[in-house]
Amino acid sequence: MVTLTALEAELLEVAGAVPDPELPVLTLHELGVLRAVHVRAEDSVEVELTPTYTGCPAIEAMSLDIERALHKHGIRQVSVRTVLSPAWSTDDISAEGRRKLREFGIAPPRARDACEPLLIELGPTRTTDPVRCPHCGSADTELLSRFSSTACKALRRCLSCREPFDHFKEL
């Protein structure tokens, strides 16, 4: 376990409060992509950030937003380093983040046991482990498209209330 200095903990909180550019209802902390903040000198820090997937176009916007937040907090030099290992997983989304996704109308990824294999849906079929509708809570939903507004989300429809909704895919 890494011990943070008081300043690193403070700056981690500041950087973690930055909203995700694609899902502004979530902070980078709630999304689980902010890995660490290291103080390198009196007013110089390095931030470790893991994208939700390799090549995620939002990583640049996240980096700039973190830099702005930390500059505003009085840090003169900020470098944001992309860290690919360990890879980000939907298991990294906090409970608060999952709650916010649901309230925003996006079905959060299903929580899974670390030993459970990841199953990927390949067509517009219902699954045996259903995705619940964030509007009415029904488990009677279907996959319409593996991709939605972002590569991280799939498009689904509730067969009870007939409303379409995004589902944050398990990664």
The pLDDT assigned to 129 comes to 67
Looking at domain 6-82, does it have CATH number 3.40.50.2000? no
The pLDDT assigned to 118 comes to 46
The pLDDT assigned to 170 comes to 82
How would you classify the pairing of strands 153-158 and 141-145? antiparallel
Strand partners, 168: 153
Distance, CA of 165 to CA of 40 (rounded, Å): 44
The pLDDT assigned to 115 comes to 45
Q: How far is CA 118 from the centre of its chain?
A: 18
Angle at alpha carbon of residue 121, lines to 129 and 101, rounded to 5°: 65
CA atoms lying within 13 Å on the CB side of residue 114:
1
Closest CA to 35 of 59, 51, 55: 51
Extended beta strands in 50-129, E state: 77-82, 106-107
Q: Are 77 and 67 in contact (CB under 8 A)?
A: no
Angle at alpha carbon of residue 27, lines to 155 and 97, rounded to 5°: 55
The pLDDT assigned to 122 comes to 45
Domain ranges of the chain: 6-82, 93-168
The pLDDT assigned to 42 comes to 82
The pLDDT assigned to 1 comes to 63
pTM, two decimals, is 0.81
Q: How far is CA 130 from the centre of its chain?
A: 21
pLDDT below 50 — which residues of the chain? 114-127
